[in-house]
Amino acid sequence: MEHSVFERQVQLTDRTISPAVYNLVIGLTLLWGFAVNWWMVDAISVEWIRSINIWVFFGGYFASCMLGVYLFSSSSNPLVSFVGYNLVVVPFGLIINLVVSRYDANLVQQAIRLTALVTVGMMALGTLFPAFFQRIASALTIALLLVIVVELVEVLVFGIRHGILDWIVVLIFCGYIGYDWGRANQIPKTLDNAIDSAAALYMDIINLFLRILRILGRK
């Protein structure tokens, strides 16, 4: 199996692109994912999603996401990576649909605006201090896994949910955005790497948005 997207080196068969085109592809790929999610929220009824058997829903969700991540992280073919990206975007869109249906439209727009501002800020920091974000990458992963376990125990065992965990997750995904953007601009600038980097950033940004929306909704 090939190396992770952030460990790749230029191969003889790789065709590099200019930094401007590389960043443009990342941006367009992100916009495609967000546009698909927007369409899904607008076109798919929440009632239909809720009618799906919960085990079928979550089984399909995790299977699609895992296959998508495998495809875009292991393939060097841009088309295969884009298919993998969409296999992540679609199940995320269903979750987004369920979540945003619980909130006022103005609150959702506010969360989108805040997420965009935070994302741009973290990308700037990732560009300026890539070495720092690379050093904290392992700590971010450990912290995220710990928060997931704590949340599951709180919800399933004690039936409670502490708001402080949402703030912690926001900080974690801020760190991931800085890390993924910094690394995206250090690896070879190929079309496939641009799509793979966009896929990683997409997951960071969507998770950040969902947590910001929850925090705003609580207020």
pLDDT tens digits for range 89-119: 999 999 999 999 999 999 999 999 999 999 9
Give the pLDDT confidence score for residue 160 in this predicted structure: 74
**Gap between the Cα atoms of 29 and 39, Å rounded:** 15
Q: How far is CA 210 from CA 96, 161, 217, in A?
A: 8, 15, 10
Q: What are the residues whose beta carbons fall under 8 Å from the beta carbon of 155, sequence distance 6 or more?
A: 161
Give the pLDDT confidence score for residue 5 in this predicted structure: 46
Determine the residue type at 120.
V
pLDDT tens digits for range 132-141: 999 999 999 9
Percent of the chain with pLDDT over 90: 84
Q: Tell me the torsion sign for CA atoms 126, 128, 129, 131.
A: positive
Asked if 188 and 16 count as a contact pair (C-beta separation under 8 A), the reply is yes
Q: Tell me the torsion sign for CA atoms 77, 79, 81, 87.
A: negative
Give the pLDDT confidence score for residue 9 in this predicted structure: 52
pLDDT band at 57 (very low <50, low <70, confident <90, very high): very high
Query: Over 70: is that where the pLDDT of 2 sits?
Result: no
Percent of the chain with pLDDT over 70: 93
